[in-house]
Amino acid sequence: MNNAIAEAPLFSRIAAAVRIVLVTMTFCSLLYPLLILGVGYLVTPHTAGGSLLRNEQGGIIGSAFLAQGFARPEYFRPRPSAVDYNGSAAGGSNLSPASPALRARAEEILARTAGGGKPLPADLVSASGSGLDPHITLQAASYQAPRVAAARGIEASEVMELLAKHAFRPGRVFTPEPLVNVLLLNLDLDRSGR
């Protein structure tokens, strides 16, 4: 089993290993990402670039895939975010579901949410893993609809109509709970001038 290579001095064995490094790096770190960049550039340039949304002046106002903070009463609010909707430092609360800190956060949200006696949908008191989950459940949106309608001085039924238009099931039959994208919904509210 002895052979020239295995018995070669360490230096020349390292040199041979470095050659393998360069070969694999050329394929895996250069050619492969270039090819995938090409696919994204040619076929799905919008999503590959981050699904950025722009206003009429061309300024970037966010990404359709990322939540952003909303506090004013005329807007629907997203799920709470452990990172305050920071698009460059995503993350969750990492709190244990039995943690007192989690309960304190829920109590604080409940205190500033006028509920009209109805229990609050759980997604409005649970932070997502990324802190950037763009969706809330249709239930959570319907819960907020009277407040949004009152703040905008319009009929609640108008808001509910818009909700129905935005609701979708991401996994069809496999995800029974309909969701809405908060940012797109709020943009639509503003654009429809209501």
Partner 1 sequence: MSIFFITLMLGGAALLSWPLGQAMTWAMSPPRQQEGFRFRIEKVLQRLGGKIIIAEQNWKQYVLALLLFNSVMFAVVFAVLALQPLLPLNPDARGAIEPSLIFHTVASFTANTNLQHYAGELTMSYFSQLFGLMWLQFVSAATGIAALTALARGLSGSSGLGNFYNDLLRATLLILLPLATTGAAILVLGGVVMTLDGAALATTIEGANQTIARGPVAAFVAIKQLGTNGGGFFGANSTHPFENPTFLTNVVECMFIMLVPMACVWMFGRLTGRLRHAAVIFLVMGALLAVKVGFANYLESAPSAAFTGLPVAAAANLEGKELRFGTAAGPTWGVLTTATSNGSVNCMHDSLNPLTGLIALTGMWFNVSFGGVGVGMINMFLYIIVGVFISGMMVGRTPEYLGRKVETREMKFALLAILVHPLLILGGTALFAATPWGAATVQDQGFHGFSEILYEFSSAAANNGSGFEGLGDNTAAWNVATAIVMLLGRFLPIILPLAIAGSLAAKKPAPATAGTLRTDTPLFGLVILGSVVFIGALLFLPVAVLGPIAEHLASGG
- Per CB under 8 A, which of residues 144..163 are in contact with partner 1? none
Q: Which of 81, 123, 142, 162 binds partner 1 (CB under 8 A)?
A: 123
Backbone angles phi, psi at 56, to 5 degrees: -65, -25
| Least gap, CB of 112 to partner 1 (angstroms) | 14
Distance set, CA 129 to CA 64, 71, 91, 113, 165 (Å) = 18, 21, 6, 23, 27
Nearest alpha-carbon partner for 132 in 71, 166, 183: 183
Q: How many CB atoms lie within 10 A of CB 154?
A: 15
By CB under 8 A, what part of segment 103-122 binds partner 1?
103, 106-107, 110, 115, 119-122
| Least gap, CB of 103 to partner 1 (angstroms) | 4
Q: Which of 70, 150, 152, 188 binds partner 1 (CB under 8 A)?
A: 70
Length of the chain: 194
Closer residue to partner 1, CB minimum distance, 139 or 160: 139
54 strand-pairing partners:
60
Report how far residue 82's alpha carbon sits from residue 79's, in angstroms, rounded to the nearest whole number: 10
**Binding of partner 1 at residue 184 (CB under 8 A)?**
no
Q: Which of 76, 131, 147, 163 binds partner 1 (CB under 8 A)?
A: 131
**Which part of the chain contacts partner 1 (CB under 8 A), choosing from 86-94, 144-152, 156-164?**
86-94
**Binding of partner 1 at residue 99 (CB under 8 A)?**
yes
